[in-house]
Structure 1
Amino acid sequence: MTHTSHAHHRPGPASWRMAAQATLHCLTGCAIGEVLGMVLGTALGWHNATTVVASTALAFVFGYSLTMWGVRSAGLTLGQMVKVALAADTVSIIVMEIIDNAGMVLIPGAMTAGLTSALFWISLAVSLALAFVITTPVNKWMIGRGKGHAVVHSMH
């Protein structure tokens, strides 16, 4: 069995800045899907559970899509881009979705406030900000181990 020189290379510590940038990238896709889902569910009078499911599904779609868009110039096939997006974003999106949906559900009246209500928009903003704060250390830990957004960074 032959070992290459990089076979024993361990990822270095991830900086907080790198983790925050990765989280911000992930938050962008999540927020697009989350806001779209919350707006649709609220506007159409969906049950809270249906709204949360739609928001979560759309967050994954937009989150993965942004990553795939970002790595398209690396010459990957569609299947490879999907694998990169899954590896880079899944844990981050899961954590964000748990936090921001929990925020919306737990803030009294947020899910039933109308689209013209400050409560709806402030609750959504607070939930997304909290998701960013909680997900950043998760991404730092993952990047430091060569996981998560480190997969995308290796393509640049």
Structure 2
Amino acid sequence: MLLWFTLTGASVLFVIIDIRSTPESPVLKWGFVLLTAYTGPIGAFLYVLGCREPLPGLHERYTAVRWRQVLGSTMHCVAGDGIGILAGAALGSVLALPNLANIAVEYALGFGFGWTIFQALFMRDTAGGSYKQALKGTFVAEFLSMNVLMAGMVLIVALGRSLIPSPLNPLMPEFWFVMSMALLVGFTVAYPINWWLVARNLKHGMMTVRRDEVGADDLPTLGEPSTASAMEGARAESPEMGHAHRAGEKGDNLAAQIIGMVVLTTAIFAIAVWVALMVEAG
């Protein structure tokens, strides 16, 4: 355990120094620092593999591949949610909350911080600078990702508590080691849902600060109505109308998929909580 914390400290120091020269968004830079603090050398490895510019001028092309975009999306989720989750776990331990109440506090604080601060506030420029619009636009993606992240975490925390004889509290190194392993597993199991979200433009991935910022009018939208045509008397469907119709169908299909994912991820989280409670009770 001492080796793990030593490697974590060295990894965080490396990322803090090295990432200053990486042409990445400031919020994602902080995200990688936090991820490395949570996951030690594995976080540093993911930074080098997924975000660190291999040669000057190649960051855009290097991070454009889908798996690196998803890596950035998942990292952003875990970095922000992790702060609230750790605060909730520490609070629950100090107050000696029952297991289910402890999970509820971790979820509430993790989701609240990740959604309102790390997603909506820090990324509001992608919503035209409107915090309210950013809250609306990031809620579903944050909810889906949080469900799967917490599903992985509660199982590892329950396993850790069952293997460590004394109750975990923030003054013990075992507490931070177990939470570190839980966040690492949570990151891993949240990666697939973030792939789904990035593939459907519901979450962003890596960024490059050298690029001009994308304006709100340049962001892809689903189901955007086309401008009315001046073709009077035309009964056949115009190409523009056809495009709008197809976009509308695509938007309806995406809405159905989102509902399905809400049900699926909520069920996964509920099952994980049930299993975790059984492990800790047994």
TM-score range (shorter-chain normalised) is 0.7 to 0.9
Amino acid at match of 1:132: F
Counting only pairs closer than 5 Å after superposition, residues 39-78 of structure 1 correspond to structure 2 as 39-65=90-116, 66-73=118-125, 74-78=127-131
Report the CA distance between 1:118 and its aligned residue. Answer: 2.3
Quote the Cα distance in structure 2 between the aligned partners of 1:97 and 1:27.
10
What residue is the counterpart of 1:90 in the other structure? 143
1:31 aligns with 2:86: no
| 2:171 corresponds to 1:116 | yes
Amino acid at match of 1:40: L
Matched-pair contact (CA < 8 Å) for 1:32–1:62: yes
Normalising by the residue count of structure 1, what TM-score does the alignment of the two structures yield? Answer: 0.79
Which stretches of structure 1, 4 residues or more, deviate above 6 A after TM superposition? none
Identity of aligned residues (%): 25
Q: Which amino acid aligns with 1:44?
A: L
| Preserved CA contact (<8 Å) 1:95 1:135 | yes
Q: Give 1:134 shift.
A: 1.3
Shift of 1:106: 2.6
Distance 1:130 1:53 in 2: 19
5+ unaligned residues in a row in structure 1: which ranges?
1-12
Give CA-to-partner distance per residue, 1:62-95, whole Å, 9 cap, x none.
Answer: 1102111123234354431211121331211111
Tell me if 1:126 matches 2:181: yes
**Number of aligned residue pairs:** 142
Calculate the aligned-residue CA RMSD, in Å. Answer: 2.5
Where structure 2 has 5 or more consecutive residues not aligned to the other structure, the ranges are 1-63, 208-213, 220-282
- Worse-superposed segment, 70-79 or 95-104: 70-79
What secondary structure, in the 3-state scheme, does the structure 1 residue paired with 2:123 have? helix
CA contact (8 A) 1:14 1:143 kept: no
Counterpart of 1:105 in structure 2 is 158
Q: Name the CA distance, whole Å, in 2 between partners of 1:91 and 1:140.
A: 12
The amino acid of 1:57's aligned partner reads: A
Equivalent in 180, 199, 210 of residue 144 of structure 1: 199
One-letter amino acid of the structure 2 residue matched with residue 50 of structure 1: A
Cα distance in 1 between the residues matched to 2:113 and 2:65? 25
Counterparts of 1:102 and 1:14 in 2: how far apart (Å)? 31
Question: How much does 1:14 deviate?
Answer: 6.2
Distance 2:67 2:158 in 1: 29
Amino acid at match of 2:155: A
Superposed CA deviations along residues 27-78 of structure 1, whole A, max 9, x for unmatched, are 0111001100000011122112111110000011011021111232343544
**Could you tell me how far 1:137 is from its partner in structure 2?**
2.2
Q: Could you say which structure has the greater relative contact order, defined with CA pairs below 8 angstroms and 6 or more residues apart?
A: 1
Contact residue 14 and residue 140 of structure 1 kept, 8 A: no
Q: Which moved more, 1:65-74 or 1:102-111?
A: 102-111
* Bigger radius of gyration among the two: 2
Alignment-derived partner of residue 132 in structure 2: 79
Per-residue CA shift, 1:71-130, capped at 9, x if unaligned?
323435443121112133121111101111221123225692122222211110001001
Superposition TM-score, scaled by structure 2 size = 0.46
